[in-house]
Amino acid sequence: MRVLIVALIFVVGVIIAYFLTRPGEKPLKVYNPVDVESEMVDKDLVRKGFGHRIQEFSFTDQSGKSYGSKDLEDKIYVAEYFFTTCGTICPVMNAEMQRVQAAFKGNNQFKILSFTVDPETDSVAQMKNYADAHGADPTQWHFLTGNKKALYKLARRSFFVLKPAEAQNQGDVGSDFIHTNYFVLVDTQKRIRGYYDGTNSKEVDKLIRDVQKLMEEDL
């Protein structure tokens, strides 16, 4: 009997030790300019190792309403850059984004932002047609158009999805946007928490899981 009790105590101790010492799930990384490829960051930001936040912005969505930072207070969101006439990666990306929308349908804590890189073509009406064709809920998925210089500045200095060298070669704004396939995850504190290949279903699955993690962080 004594041997049995000792063995039982040993087993219970091992189980307790396992749960106390097993590594917990790591929180999502917070991205600062120093964590991004230096070619994607303006020289004055490249050494910044902490404190990066998405700058204030406001554009016009597919409903013809202003939408921006003030509407995203305490929200988690995913951002992408695309254009409606793109026939290569954009249809794939936005088919994947439809899955993201479906995963958080009706959840007001989560938003999707699709910024155009071609505002001359992508008018409000054009964006609405595109949004409707992709089943976008206008209260959750916002297709944003507006001033080209402001759109590109946000991409280059906040989301780090446009190479500064390209912008400099093309002038203040740039006439040819580097076509990015990245989705960018932003938390309630306006910090970047992840980059995901929007053409890769497995990476988009990870994005969905990471959004859920951020929601749990904010509980």
Give the pLDDT band of residue 164 (cuts 50, 70, 90).
confident
Q: Where are the domains of the chain?
A: 29-217
> Domain 29-217, CATH 3.40.30.10 — does that match?
yes
Strand partners, 142: 113
Cα–chain-centroid distance for residue 171? 27
Residue with tokens 């500064």: 164
pLDDT in tens, 4-42: 554 445 544 444 443 333 445 688 999 999 999 988 888
So what's the pLDDT on residue 17?
41
CB-based contacts of 63, cutoff 8 Å, min separation 6: 124, 128, 138
Tell me the percentage of the chain whose pLDDT exceeds 70.
82
Top pLDDT among 183 and 1 is at: 183
Which tokens hold the place of 216?
């749990």
Tell me the percentage of the chain whose pLDDT exceeds 90.
74
Q: Which of 18-27, 54-63, 167-176 has the lowest mean pLDDT?
A: 167-176
Angle made by CA atoms 133, 106, 25, in degrees to the nearest 5: 110
Top pLDDT among 13 and 54 is at: 54
- H or E stretch covering 110: strand 110-116
Cα–chain-centroid distance for residue 109? 14
* Positive or negative torsion for Cα 103, 67, 39, 120: positive
pLDDT in tens, 101-114: 999 999 999 999 99
Rounded distance, CA 149 to CA 153, Å? 6
- pLDDT higher than 80, residue 169: no
pLDDT in tens, 72-91: 999 999 999 999 999 999 99
